[in-house]
Structure 1
Amino acid sequence: MAEEHFKVVGTWGTGAMFPEHEAPLWTVALPQASGGAITADIQAMTDLGLKGFETVKLLQTGVYDAGFGAYTYIASGDPVFEGIDLALVSRSSAENRKLVEAYEPVVAAAFEQIHGVKLLASYPFPAQILVCRDEFTGLDDLKGRKIRVYSTTLGDMAEGLGGVSVTIPLGDVVPALQRGVIDCGVSSGISMYTAKWQDVVKYVYETPVSAGIAFLAMNMSRWNGLDADTQALIQAEADKFVDKAWDALADSEAQGIACLTGQGEECRYGEPANMKLVAARPEDDPIRKQLLADFVLKRYADRCGEACTTRWNETAGAVVGVEARP
């Protein structure tokens, strides 16, 4: 096996995924599996001053050999990528994984055709949850509230709830909450905790509203220039990385709630906050279904077009039992 050194960009340095999963793939797993033939330098996009939207462009141009990123960051360029992480579609991590695996061939083809990069893996961040500064009792209690979102599909959800969707970077959320620019926000529990949202928000909704699916991709020329053994090894280790990320999901989500509310297990990231957990109610379920059908899936179908929507229905939609209709 030839010696190869890679320059890699990761996701958020403030969260758990980068130090616990993304970086070790390139600095521990691949060097060990290759007997030292594969080495890498990896930096989090936040340490580089990047917002995330730039990752695919940096891979296209070869500035980085490989990179991790959230699908939501590239969905605005083509709605086909939205389909792997639509708000409210999945109700469990097991269902999420089935959806991702069913739809992954579609986004892999789109990565190559649209961006000219090789998709190596799709993996989950902890589920995305909803928090608010002021008290709320359920999904029907969010009308008129300004909700921080980071994707079009979450914006559809917020507007379906009667709220106002506001797109703000993670690092700007706390001052925006303090100034009243927003009332609520969506992110993963650990990301919220490490970004200190708990200093401002006091209520957290129990049921996740989105999955938070990310990708690992490589510059296509760099990939094609590797020998077959190196390609096979990288893909095998990427597959193991995906399994570990799914296996760690339940613990990460439990830690998010523990750190934000002080309930459940011990928070490993510091002193727990004392946010109030807003339990999902039976009356929230029909609201969720109506939001999914009339706002999330309908608007996605409108953006995606007939052929794109048909592919989604035949793959992702089929495994979770829902259908997108314009």
Structure 2
Amino acid sequence: MKTKHFLVSSLIIMGTAAVGGAQAADWTGYTYSSVSTTAAVKGMERISDRVEAEADDLSISLHLGKTLQIASSDITQSVGDGFIDFSADLFFSGNVPIARILNLPMLIENGDQWDKAYEAMIPYLEEGFAKQDVNFLGAYRYPQQVIFTSFEIDSLDDLENRKIRVTSPEQGAFVEAFGGSPITLSGSDVPTALERGVIDGVLTASAGGAKNWHEFLDYNYRLPVNYAYSAVIANNGAYESLSEADRETLATIVSEETANITEAFLVDEQAQKQSQAEAGMTIIEPSDEDIAKAQDALAPFWREWASDAGPEHEQALQDVLTALGK
């Protein structure tokens, strides 16, 4: 039995689905983002609205990040324990480590490769979340994480002896591979750290952190380091209590709207990239040689990471590599 190790506000409305869908289910939904204008939140709101209009016996009351007493790292467990019924979770890797394969640096180069790798990982994602009493419904991804710096950069060699803010151990391995020092900071601390020289750059997206920190970042080296993605999940008991028709309706809505969220992020990425260039940021496209150099340097890390994690991770990585033709 799982230990419920954190308290949740008594305002949370529990899902009330009855087996077989005989009683209407009013699910409590949650998203990690507290900003209602982001593509992710808008997409989750569309899911909620469409479920209300299209499902027979299901509705979702969506709560923004920080409006419930749930830490970002606890979202998956919160869904599994039934405190909430439905959520988008960007911070699931601690609960489902195998999902981090899709975050490995230099493994996935572009959107087409992402689609192939993601398809290969779906069975592992479903199984990994199921172990947490959670049903994996789908995912949306953010734009590529690339390199933004306050110093001039036009090759990987320029990272040597530089301090780069990262958001995961996998990104840290990338920075270390080229002689840099990875630094972990909260997003709110980044502007001051850049201004004071505590860090020399960040790994993020034009439509991500660079949207807020661009005034401190003069250069953008567009080497595709890795991707971040968010899982859309539901409590397994609540999901199984839905009628088959409502499960199919929910699956269709999530599939369509996660694709729309991903596309909206990509559109915003191009818009922000152009805006940042017009404001004076120097945009540098990486050479094929630098991309190959980065892949060669990080490939051993992929296999070492999977080997340390265990046989299932090794098999999942191999399935992804096969799908990518690597």
Q: TM-score, normalised by structure 2?
A: 0.85
Confirm or deny: 8 A CA contact 1:128 1:209 kept in the other structure: yes
Aligned AA (1:12): S
Aligned equivalent of 1:24: 46
Deviations 1:155-189 (A, max 9, x none): 11111121111222223221222232221111221
Confirm or deny: 8 A CA contact 1:119 1:217 kept in the other structure: yes
Among 105, 113, 117, which residue is 1:99 paired with? 117
Among 182, 191, 201, which residue is 2:208 paired with? 191
Confirm or deny: 8 A CA contact 1:80 1:308 kept in the other structure: yes
Compared with structure 1, are the counterparts of its residues 48 and 175 closer, same or farther at alpha carbon in structure 2 (3 Å cutoff)? farther
| Distance in 2, Cα, partners of 1:313 & 1:285 | 21
What value does the CA root-mean-square deviation take over the aligned residues?
A: 2.2
Q: Does 1:287 align with 2:307?
A: no
Aligned equivalent of 1:270: none
Percent of residue pairs bearing the same amino acid type: 19
Among 93, 100, 108, which residue is 2:126 paired with? 108
Instruction: For 1:80-91, list aligned pairs within 5 A.
Output: 80-91=98-109
Among 236, 252, 259, which residue is 2:252 paired with? 236
Confirm or deny: 8 A CA contact 1:79 1:300 kept in the other structure: no
Compared with structure 1, are the counterparts of its residues 213 and 288 closer, same or farther at alpha carbon in structure 2 (3 Å cutoff)? same
Deviations 1:91-113 (A, max 9, x none): 11111011111111111101112
- How far residue 77 of structure 1 moved from its aligned partner, in angstroms, is 4.4
Aligned equivalent of 1:320: 324
Instruction: For 1:150-189, list aligned pairs within 5 A.
Output: 150-189=167-206
Confirm or deny: 8 A CA contact 2:161 2:180 kept in the other structure: yes
Confirm or deny: 8 A CA contact 1:203 1:278 kept in the other structure: yes
Secondary structure, aligned partner of 1:118: strand
- How far residue 248 of structure 1 moved from its aligned partner, in angstroms, is 3.6
Unaligned runs of 5+ in 2: 1-20
Q: Which has the larger radius of gyration?
A: 2
Q: Does 1:133 align with 2:150?
A: yes
Secondary structure, aligned partner of 1:88: coil
Aligned equivalent of 1:10: 31
Aligned AA (1:307): E
Aligned AA (2:129): F
Among 63, 66, 72, which residue is 2:83 paired with? 63
| Distance in 1, Cα, partners of 2:24 & 2:129 | 27
Secondary structure, aligned partner of 2:151: coil
| Distance in 2, Cα, partners of 1:57 & 1:22 | 19
| Distance in 2, Cα, partners of 1:170 & 1:293 | 29
Secondary structure, aligned partner of 2:26: strand
Aligned equivalent of 1:301: 306
Aligned AA (1:308): H
| Distance in 2, Cα, partners of 1:299 & 1:249 | 32
| Distance in 2, Cα, partners of 1:257 & 1:220 | 40
| Distance in 2, Cα, partners of 1:109 & 1:318 | 20
Aligned equivalent of 1:212: 228
Confirm or deny: 8 A CA contact 2:306 2:317 kept in the other structure: no
Compared with structure 1, are the counterparts of its residues 49 and 3 closer, same or farther at alpha carbon in structure 2 (3 Å cutoff)? closer
Q: TM-score, normalised by structure 1?
A: 0.85
Q: How many residues align?
A: 304
Secondary structure, aligned partner of 1:122: strand
Confirm or deny: 8 A CA contact 2:43 2:258 kept in the other structure: no
| Distance in 1, Cα, partners of 2:115 & 2:84 | 28
Confirm or deny: 8 A CA contact 2:155 2:286 kept in the other structure: yes
Aligned AA (1:303): D
Among 75, 81, 88, which residue is 2:93 paired with? 75
Unaligned runs of 5+ in 1: 263-272
Secondary structure, aligned partner of 1:215: strand
Compared with structure 1, are the counterparts of its residues 185 and 193 closer, same or farther at alpha carbon in structure 2 (3 Å cutoff)? closer
| Distance in 1, Cα, partners of 2:161 & 2:98 | 30
- How far residue 56 of structure 1 moved from its aligned partner, in angstroms, is 1.0
Secondary structure, aligned partner of 1:190: coil
